[in-house]
Chains A and B, each alone.
Chain A
Amino acid sequence: MDSRFQFLLVGTLAALLQAPDVHAADPKDLELEPLVVREPERRDVKVDEIDTEDFEIGAYSGVLDVDNFGSNAVYGLRGAYHITEDFFIEGVYGRSKLGETSFEKLSGNVQLLSNDDRNFSYYNLGFAYNILPGESFIGRKYAFRGGLYVLAGAGSSDFAGDQRFTISGGFGYRLAATDWLALRVDVRDYVFQSDLLGSNETYNNIELTGGLTIFF
């Protein structure tokens, strides 16, 4: 009985002592540490992150001739989005000051408008189409991208204290100095109706401006 117990005890002890060795012999542990595998760097081309230059913003100044109110300086801002190579949409906002009508000049003291009402401003939103894109050359060495465009739009004019529905049409020339900088010359006619001088009349207001724009 005793010896059997002793045998069991020794056996268990031996088994226990052996255990680490058995564990060490586990084939799993004999496997080599996995090698450090270098994943090839992903070289996906993220088209969305490519720098696009579809927006154009700029400032302009020039002369605006308001029917009956003479030619005056005009200053404005413009913003455009180029949808395709042919079309772009453009919004403009400009300010000018109305001069005196010939009636006011001749009659001496009569003032048709208060000083505040002489502030003229407009906004217009429209489409433009590049009709004659091309290159212009200066001498032998330099070629610049440029082109003629026609535009039409609608908006509102703040004329003599009232908002008038205004349509516009015109054309312009853009000369790209670099990819991101362009020179622009625009001729536009802003047309609205007003009954300021008695009867309802159509006012044609021709504007000639020059300006700089940047693409981003």
Chain B
Amino acid sequence: MTGRKGMTATLIRTALMLAALLTSAPVFAELFAKYQPEVVVSDPYIDLHTGPGRGYPIFYVAAQGDRITILKAQTDWYKVRTPRGKEGWVNVEQMTSTLDLDGQAIEFPTYGVSEFGKRRWTFGFGAGDFDGARILSTDLSFAFTPNISADFVVSQVLGDYSDGYMGTVSIVMTPWPEWRVSPFFEIGTGILQVNPQTTIVQSHDETNEIAHAGIGADIYLSKRFVFRAQYKRHTVFTTRDENEEIDEWTAGFSFFL
């Protein structure tokens, strides 16, 4: 008994020592080390706020020539540390007037209508009407070129008598991506699954292939926000004699990276 207890204790001790050794190893230090570059203030001064927002009070001012360390970022704000150890948040607009240690300007990401024209990843969600039923959808699109993008949409259809899910993939043409109101055209395909409500007797789920053509517009709002309104006409390839035509109208918000 004592032997086993002793062995367990030794095992635990070894494991603990191993863990301590591993966590203190430089490999781990490197793995969890954060990239915190130093920059030089080039404007006469920059303001340090107590929080990442314009309303948080300014509690310290870093002067021209000060070397400040960038610790992290949250939305448009950077948390920095001054040589005197003060930590505060600086807006990206003031960060753009800092220089790297070689005296070169640094490119901080800012978002405006020109970035809207060069959008690559867009994520959004919207709601609307799907042949009398309500539809909720989320979409993710990736622009291969400013004019051509692929759009993946997952939707849930919620009707009075049935509900269902729809997944589509489309190719979207954006002839004027840099316009503030940028129209687009798309064609795509996917599947539509319909489940009748439980109150309806003798019902069964149905899954069909669908294809659609659509038209819409992305309207640039501000920063990274876009308002999207669109119309799609779906053709449902049913097992019955006739194909079904469905109109979909949706509007929603998206943001781009």
B-binding residues in A (CB < 8 A): 40, 43-47, 49-54, 82-85, 87, 89, 125, 127, 130, 133-135, 143, 145, 154-156, 161-165, 179, 195, 215
Q: Is the CB of A163 within 8 A of B51?
A: no
Give the distance to chain B from A65, nearest Cβ to Cβ, in Å.
22
The chain A residue sitting closest to B98, CB to CB, is A45
Q: Is the CB of B109 within 8 A of A145?
A: no
A-binding residues in B (CB < 8 A): 34-37, 39, 50-57, 70-79, 100-102, 104, 106-109, 125, 127, 134, 136, 138, 156, 158, 163, 197-199, 223-225, 253, 255
SS class of chain B's interface: helix, strand, loop or mixed?
Answer: loop
Give the distance to chain B from A95, nearest Cβ to Cβ, in Å.
18
Q: Is the CB of A82 within 8 A of B51?
A: no
Could you write out 18 A-B pairs with CB less than 8 Å apart?
A: A44-B104, A47-B108, A49-B35, A50-B35, A50-B72, A53-B74, A83-B225, A83-B255, A84-B75, A84-B223, A84-B224, A85-B76, A145-B50, A154-B127, A162-B198, A163-B158, A179-B72, A179-B74
Give the distance to chain B from A199, nearest Cβ to Cβ, in Å.
13
> What residues of chain B lie closer than 8 Å to A162, measured between beta carbons?
163, 197-199
The chain B residue sitting closest to A147, CB to CB, is B53
Residue from the set B39, B127, B136 with the largest chain A CB neighbour count within 10 Å = B136
Given A145-B50, A163-B163, A165-B158, A83:B223 Cβ within 8 A: yes
Out of A51, A54, A135, A161, which one reaches B56, CB within 8 Å? A135
> What residues of chain B lie closer than 8 Å to A44, measured between beta carbons?
100, 104
**CA of A157 to CA of B36 in the docked complex: distance in angstroms?**
44
> What residues of chain A lie closer than 8 Å to B50, measured between beta carbons?
135, 143, 145
> What residues of chain B lie closer than 8 Å to A155, measured between beta carbons?
136
**CA of A85 to CA of B34 in the docked complex: distance in angstroms?**
23
Q: Is the CB of B75 within 8 A of A156?
A: no
Out of A52, A143, A195, which one reaches B74, CB within 8 Å? A52
> What residues of chain A lie closer than 8 Å to B79, measured between beta carbons?
179
SS class of chain A's interface: helix, strand, loop or mixed?
Answer: strand
**CA of A36 to CA of B197 in the docked complex: distance in angstroms?**
79
Q: Is the CB of A54 within 8 A of B75?
A: yes
Q: Is the CB of A50 within 8 A of B125?
A: no
Q: Is the CB of A156 within 8 A of B127?
A: no
The chain B residue sitting closest to A143, CB to CB, is B50
Out of B52, B57, B75, which one reaches A83, CB within 8 Å? B75
The chain B residue sitting closest to A154, CB to CB, is B127
**CA of A84 to CA of B255 in the docked complex: distance in angstroms?**
11
The chain B residue sitting closest to A53, CB to CB, is B74
Q: Is the CB of A135 within 8 A of B136?
A: no
**CA of A84 to CA of B57 in the docked complex: distance in angstroms?**
18
> What residues of chain B lie closer than 8 Å to A84, measured between beta carbons?
75-76, 223-224
Give the distance to chain B from A176, nearest Cβ to Cβ, in Å.
8
Q: Is the CB of A51 within 8 A of B35?
A: yes
Given contacts A43-B101, A83-B223, 8 further A-B contacts (CB under 8 A): A43-B100, A50-B73, A84-B75, A87-B225, A134-B56, A145-B56, A179-B72, A195-B199
Q: Is the CB of A47 within 8 A of B109?
A: yes
Give the distance to chain A from B6, nearest Cβ to Cβ, in Å.
41
